[in-house]
Amino acid sequence: MDAGAKIYIAGHNGLAGSAIKQKMEENGYNNLIFRTSSELDLRVQKDVDSFFKEENPEYVIIAAARVGGINANNSFPADFISDNLKIQTNVIDAAYRNGISKLLFLGSTCIYPRECPQPIKEEYFLTGPLEETNQWYAVAKIAGIKLCQAYRRQYGFNAVAVMPTNLYGPNDNFDLKTSHVLPALIRKFHEAKVDDRPEVTVWGSGKPRREFLYIEDFANVILFLLKHYDDEEIINVGVGEDITIADLASLIADVIGYKGSITYDPGMPDGTPRKLTDVSKLHSLGWQAGTSLRDGISKTYNWYQTNL
C-alpha cells in the first residue's frame, strides 16, 4: 500500500473512522477520500454506485455504521439492523464491482454468542444464541462478515473482516442516552464533580465485564492489518484483558478526582455478562496494544474537557 494509494474511509467522522484517518495522515498517506453522511448517504445504493464510479478508490475501510450503547440498541432496533445492512451491502458490492484491491470491514465482538467460553476465540462465531439487547446490530454485522466471505469465495475479492472489542477515546459519543459505558461514565463523573453532587448512578449491577481498546491503538492495528492480513477468517482486535463495570466506574472516578459515592440502577440492563477477546491470532501476527486503560481514560478525559 503506497503513500499515494487512493483510500476511501467510510465513516471518517466517527470514533473509529476519525482515528484511522488521523493515523493514516500521520503515516504519510496523502490520497485519502471521504464523504460526510449529508454528502453521501451510504444507505442509498445508486448514490454509493455513482460515488465509486466517480472516485474509483483502490482501498476501502468501512468504519461507517449506526452504532450506540446498550440503551440505543434497545430503543432503535429497526434503525440498527436496517441502516447497517444497507450501508455494508452497498459499499461492499460497489467496491467489488469497481475492482478495488482490498476492503476492510469493521464488525464487533457482539457477533459472538452471549454465553460463549471466555476469552472469545474467532472460532466461536455462530456457535450459539446472541445477546438480546444488541442482537439487531449483531445480526447486521454477522451479515457483513458473511458478505465479505462470500465475495471472496465467489469472486476472489480481498475483503477482510475485523472484530474490535469496545473502543473508546477522543471523538467518542458522550450523549448519556445513546453512548457506550466508558464515555457515559466520564461525563457522569465529570458533571458530578463540577456540580459537587454526592453520588453517581451507574446502570445495571456493575458485575458485567468488558474489555476496552484505546482508539489510537485501534487505528494502529487497522493500518497493520491493511498491510498484513488477507484472510477469509475473521480476526479479533482487543487487548486481551477485561474489567468489571464497577471497577471501571471506580477507575474513572479516580482519574477524574470524583470523591462521592457510586450507586447502581438495577432497572437498567446488564447486557452480555462478559465479552473478553482472545487475541492470540493478532499477537501471533506481531501486534499488541500499548495504551493502559488508566492512560487511555486520562487522555480521553483531557480531550473531553477541551472539546465538549
Give the residue numbers annotated as catalytic, written as ranges. 137
Min dist CB 229 to ligand GDP, Å, is: 25
Judged by CB under 6 A, the number of residues near ligand GDP is: 22
Min dist CB 272 to ligand GDP, Å, is: 6
| Residue 267 CB coordination number (10 Å) | 7
Binding mask 154-173 for ligand GDP (x = CB under 6 A): ------------x-------
∠ CA 270-275-281, rounded to 5°: 170
According to the binding rule CB under 6 A, does residue 252 interact with ligand GDP?
no
Helical H segments across 76-180, by residue range? 77-97, 135-155
Return phi, psi of residue 10, to 5°.
-80, 125
Min dist CB 79 to ligand GDP, Å, is: 16
Burial of 264 (0-12, 13-18, 19+ CB in 10 A): middle
According to the binding rule CB under 6 A, does residue 204 interact with ligand GDP?
yes
Nearer to ligand GDP by Cβ, of 99 and 129: the residue is: 129
According to the binding rule CB under 6 A, does residue 241 interact with ligand GDP?
no
Residue 113 CB partners (closer than 8 Å, separation 6+): 124, 126, 127, 128, 129, 130
Among 88, 89, 134, 220, binds ligand GDP (CB under 6 A): 134
Amino acid at 278: D
According to the binding rule CB under 6 A, does residue 180 interact with ligand GDP?
yes
Burial of 289 (0-12, 13-18, 19+ CB in 10 A): buried
According to the binding rule CB under 6 A, does residue 271 interact with ligand GDP?
yes
Which of 34, 39, 37, 102 has the alpha carbon at shortest distance from 65? Answer: 37
Nearer to ligand GDP by Cβ, of 134 and 291: the residue is: 134
How long a stretch of residues is the chain? 308
Given the rule CB under 6 A, which of 40-48, 65-73, 153-161, 289-297 is the region that contacts ligand GDP? 65-73
Nearer to ligand GDP by Cβ, of 75 and 302: the residue is: 75
Amino acid at 211: E
Min dist CB 234 to ligand GDP, Å, is: 18
Among 43, 190, 210, 299, binds ligand GDP (CB under 6 A): 210
According to the binding rule CB under 6 A, does residue 202 interact with ligand GDP?
yes
Which of 280, 188, 272 has the alpha carbon at shortest distance from 235? Answer: 280
Reading phi first (left if > 0) and then psi (alpha if -120 to 50, else beta), residue 99 is in left
Q: Convert 18-32 to b/e letters by CB count within 10 Å (16 or more is b).
A: bbbbbbbeeeebeeb
According to the binding rule CB under 6 A, does residue 179 interact with ligand GDP?
yes
Nearer to ligand GDP by Cβ, of 12 and 210: the residue is: 210
According to the binding rule CB under 6 A, does residue 268 interact with ligand GDP?
yes
According to the binding rule CB under 6 A, does residue 270 interact with ligand GDP?
yes
According to the binding rule CB under 6 A, does residue 70 interact with ligand GDP?
yes
What residue ranges bind ligand GDP (CB under 6 A)?
69-71, 110, 134, 166, 179-181, 184-185, 202-204, 208, 210, 245, 268-272
